Amino acid sequence: MVQHHIRTVIIDDEVSFINTLEILLQKHPEFKIIGKARSATEAIHVIKETAPDLIFLDVQLGDGNGFDVLKAIENPDHLDVVFVTAFDEYAVEAFRFSAVDYLLKPVIYDDLVSALDRVKQSIQSRLSINRLEILLANLKLTDNTKKKIVLREVDTHHIIDLDDIMWCMAEGSYTSFHLVDDRTIVVSKNLKEYEEILSSNGFYRIHRSYVVNLNKVLRLEKAEGGVLHLQGNHQLPVSTRKREKLSMRLNML
């Protein structure tokens, strides 16, 4: 049986990182390294020449950044991309919104293995379409209401405007997203993970089970612990310890 190799290019301005990643990938022979680059200019050339399936792409390169590389490539959606970065809060937030893979330096082997598994699944099902487009769009935006988030169900990626989310609800290790059109999307990540990326974008945790879009709030009723009235005649409970801080946040809107 002929094994299909995943044609891989490594793009990083640190030789030591390229060497380390090469060594780690030797444990995964299905990933065949067909090219390496240390600058944005070189990366664009290598990608166009080799047409890889996968690139490991450093965010910061000597003569530009990884996003410049993607913008210079025709049809980047045929690629699977694993971004590599020293911690950059802004970029990491964009990665998480857009459901693209990223690794933080120094790379932890278990994180690499998880990323490789997701790449293999993506190549098999080709569910990566549009995620890079969403990432590049989110990086340009300063208006949070126009940002999009990619929500992964088992075999579907939903691209959702943040402003279309009413609230998120914890369901064990899952999270359900309740939308303005009354749809509900359930994803296999816990509410804490989404609280972390939504809290700086107009969302607030009002209860252990709920994170709400503050732009959808009509009023806060403080009787009986607290009830939040939302657009569409929806009501959600507010925990007593969250009530005063929530009131302050609403007064700032």
Domains of the chain and CATH, by start: 6-137 (3.40.50.2300), 141-252 (2.40.50.1020)
The pLDDT value recorded for residue 102 is 87
**What's the CA gap between 51 and 75, in Å, rounded?**
11
122 vs 61, higher pLDDT: 61
The pLDDT value recorded for residue 113 is 95
Asked whether the predicted pLDDT for residue 100 surpasses 90, the reply is: no
The predicted model scores a pTM of 0.59
The pLDDT value recorded for residue 76 is 66
Please state which of the ranges 19-23, 137-141, 156-160 shows the lowest mean pLDDT: 137-141
184 vs 122, higher pLDDT: 184
